[in-house]
Amino acid sequence: MTETTTAPVEPETVGQTDPPRTAQPRRRRRPPSPGRVLAWVVMIVLLLLTLFPFYWMLRTALSSNGALYSGSTSLLPVGFSWGGFERVFGLQSTEEAIAQGGSGASIDFWLYLRNSVVVATVVTACQVFFSAMAAYAFSRLRWRGRNAVFAVFLLSLMVPAIFTLLPNFVLIRDLGLVDTLLGIMLPGLFMTPFAIFFLRQFFMNVSTEVEEAALIDGASKVRVFFAIIIPMSVGPIATISILTYIGSWNDYFWPLMVSYTDESRVLTVALGNFNAQTPQTGPDWAGLMAATLVAALPMILLFLVFAKRIVNSIGFSGIK
C-alpha cells in the first residue's frame, strides 16, 4: 500500500484577531486660489454680457409697444403680449396690428424662411464640396506651381469682401440673374479661400500609408478622394459646413443688392424691410425683436449642438 502524507496543519490560535485597520486621513481640499476665483468671476461676467442681448431681445418681443417706453428700465416684459410673434407669423389682422403699435404691413415669414433655407443649403453643399476638392489638390497632389497658386489664394483672404460686390453685381446683371435665388447664391457657390485653407490643413495630417496602399491596389485619385479622404474628414467637413451655413444665413448686404421682390428676398433682408415699415407712433420694436429672434433661433441651436466639434476641429486643423 502507498502511504499518503499530509502536511501538518498549524493549530489555530484561540482568541487571535486581525489587527485593526487604521483609517487613512482624508485629504483636505485646498481652497481655491485668488487667481482661479478671479478667472471664474471674469468668465461668468463675460457669459452674462454675451447672453444679455438675447434675453433683452426676448423681453422686448414679449412686451407691448405701448408699454415699452414707460417701462424701458424694467428687466421683465412690460405689458406681456404675444402680439409681436403673432404679427411675424401673420396671425393678426391689420387693425389689431395697428392697435398694438405695429405697422399694419404683412410679412410673409414662411416665404422668406424658405428662401433663406434654400440659399444657405445650396451654397453650403456646393461650396464645401468644391472647396474639399481644391483642398485635396493643394495638399495631396503634386503639380508644378502648387505652392504659388495656394499663396495667391491666401492673399485673397486679405481682400475686403466689399471690394468684390460691384464686379459681382455687374456679372450677375449681365447673366440676367438679378432678382433670383441663383443670383444670390452664385458668388459664393463654388469655393472660398478660408474653406480651402481650413480643409487643406486637415488633409495634410491624414496618413499617407492608407492612400498609397489604395493607389497600389489600383484605385484612382478620384476614388481615393471619395472613399478614403472624405470619410476620414467627416469632422472638419461638418465644421466648415456649419460655419458656411451660418455665414450664408446671416448674409445681408449682397442679397439686398440683387433681390427686389418677395420671391427672391431672404429673411435677413425681409427683417430690414419690416423695420423700415415704421408706424407714425414709432418702430414696431416688439414685432422686430420677435422676427429677429425667430430668424436667429435656428442658427443659435445649430451652433450650440455642434460647438464642441467646431472648437475641436479648428484646434486640430492648426488655426489659432
How far is the C-alpha of 294 from the C-alpha of 63, rounded, in Å?
A: 16
How far is the C-alpha of 141 from the C-alpha of 237, rounded, in Å?
A: 19
pLDDT at 6 over 60: no
The pLDDT of residue 292 is 83
pLDDT band at 1 (very low <50, low <70, confident <90, very high): very low
Residue (of 275, 293, 292) closest to 284 by Cα position: 275
Per-residue pLDDT reduced to its tens digit, 87-125: 777 777 767 767 766 666 667 778 888 999 999 999 999
pLDDT at 63 over 80: yes
pTM of the model as a whole: 0.76
pLDDT at 78 over 60: yes
pLDDT at 2 over 50: no
Q: CB–CB of 286/64 below 8 Å?
A: yes
Q: 109-140 vs 285-316: helix axis angle to the nearest 10? A: 20
Using left for φ > 0, alpha for ψ between -120 and 50, and beta otherwise, residue 176 falls in: left
Amino acid code (one letter) for 216: I
Per-residue pLDDT reduced to its tens digit, 146-164: 888 888 888 888 888 888 8
How far is the C-alpha of 146 from the C-alpha of 318, rounded, in Å?
A: 20
pLDDT band at 320 (very low <50, low <70, confident <90, very high): very low
* Cβ neighbours of 191 (radius 10 Å): 19
* pLDDT top residue among 27 and 238: 238
How far is the C-alpha of 94 from the C-alpha of 279, rounded, in Å?
A: 12
Q: Which domains does the chain have, with CATH numbers?
A: 114-266 (1.10.3720.10)
